[in-house]
Amino acid sequence: MLSRTADNLFWMCRYIERAENTARMLDVNLQMSLLPQDTQTREGSWLGVLRISELQGLYQSKYAAISPHDVLQYMVRDPENPSSIYSCMRAARENARAVRGSLTTEVWETYNTTWLELLKHLHTGLLERNPGEFFEWVKFRSHLARGVTIGTMLEDEALYFLRIGMHLERADNTARMLDVKFHERGGNGSQSSSQTGTQEARTEPTGTAALQSEFYRWSALLSSVSGLEIYRKVYRDVITPDRVAELLILHGDMPRSLLASMRAVADDLARVSNQRSTETERRAGMLCAELQYGRVEDILDSGLHQYLDHFLDRINDLGNRISQDFLVPLSA
């Protein structure tokens, strides 16, 4: 397969996954903002959305203050934001258009229709009128694209590169969400985080209010990765930060966990192996093995923030190596 074709397939699926992840974050944050909160807490939760995507600086260069309306506009429809839903959907469609010959008709039509319907929804004001319905639509179109791809594509290199892009993006997003939520809430692993995070820590309520607040926070995080029902089925107990971390990092049966995502990446890399990819496969395999045989107690003892920060560095390195070995290098 040509490197340019593999590159388009890889980024096509990665961008649609990023759009879905952004919709999940915004939807859950919007629901959480309906709970009784002080102004500082509400502002901090929307700041967390920007920090997950590392867009805090770019946002503050355009907007004077953090408000739900401005964050929604920036994260959904701003064409200058490379991680906005608009930008991701556009990039996914353009990459799909470039490799129409490698896709089935159903896959191309799904991506193209999704882009056209997005333009219509933004033009008619669905986001402002009913943001929850808009985010559900984004998630539905992403599910549809993924299902049509798996259900109609031949299991060859094209499908493998699509899946590598999807699972690499999913692992990156899950790690970012977990890191930011633990960091901003003062959870395990944030004790040795940066001074900035310490300064932004907020005073927590006490007693029953604190327990209720904790429950809603971790329920929101689980809901953002479709993990609330899975958590209840696996643990059958109250929601605790340690178990949330274990589920989203080490539980291989949880489809959005780091282990499940990296296992899929390692398996598909082995299927597209070439003479230059030995080191990339080795690093993916090592990361997968560490997750498979890791213990959440060891991760929390060493510091969750440091662990996830190191994981994200390794994910970025893996993405760069995949580009060098199979795709069009990022510097090209």
What DSSP string runs through 10-76? HHHHHHHHHHHHHHHHHHHHHHHTTS---HHHHHHHHHHHHHHTT-HHHHHHH-SS--HHHHHHHHH
The label of the residue with tokens 């609330």 reads 228
The predicted structure's pLDDT at residue 196:
37
The dihedral built from the CA positions of residue 25, 31, 33 and 35, taken in this order, carries a sign that is negative
pLDDT digits (tens, 9 = 90+) for 304-331: 989 999 999 999 999 999 999 988 766 5
Rounded to whole angstroms, what are the CA distances from 47 to 61, 141, 222?
A: 14, 27, 19
146 versus 196: the higher-pLDDT residue is 146
pLDDT digits (tens, 9 = 90+) for 66-124: 888 999 999 999 999 999 999 999 999 999 999 999 999 999 999 999 999 999 999 99
Closest C-alpha among 253, 217, 215 to residue 237: 215
Task: Give the pLDDT band of residue 256 (cuts 50, 70, 90).
Answer: very high
| pLDDT of residue 52 exceeding 80 | yes
| pLDDT of residue 193 exceeding 50 | no
Closest C-alpha among 23, 147, 12 to residue 85: 23
The predicted structure's pLDDT at residue 32:
78
The predicted structure's pLDDT at residue 42:
77
What residue spans define the domains of the chain?
A: 1-153, 169-332
Question: Does the pTM of the predicted model rise above 0.85?
Answer: yes
Task: Give the pLDDT band of residue 180 (cuts 50, 70, 90).
Answer: confident
The predicted structure's pLDDT at residue 195:
37
Mean pLDDT of 2-18: 93
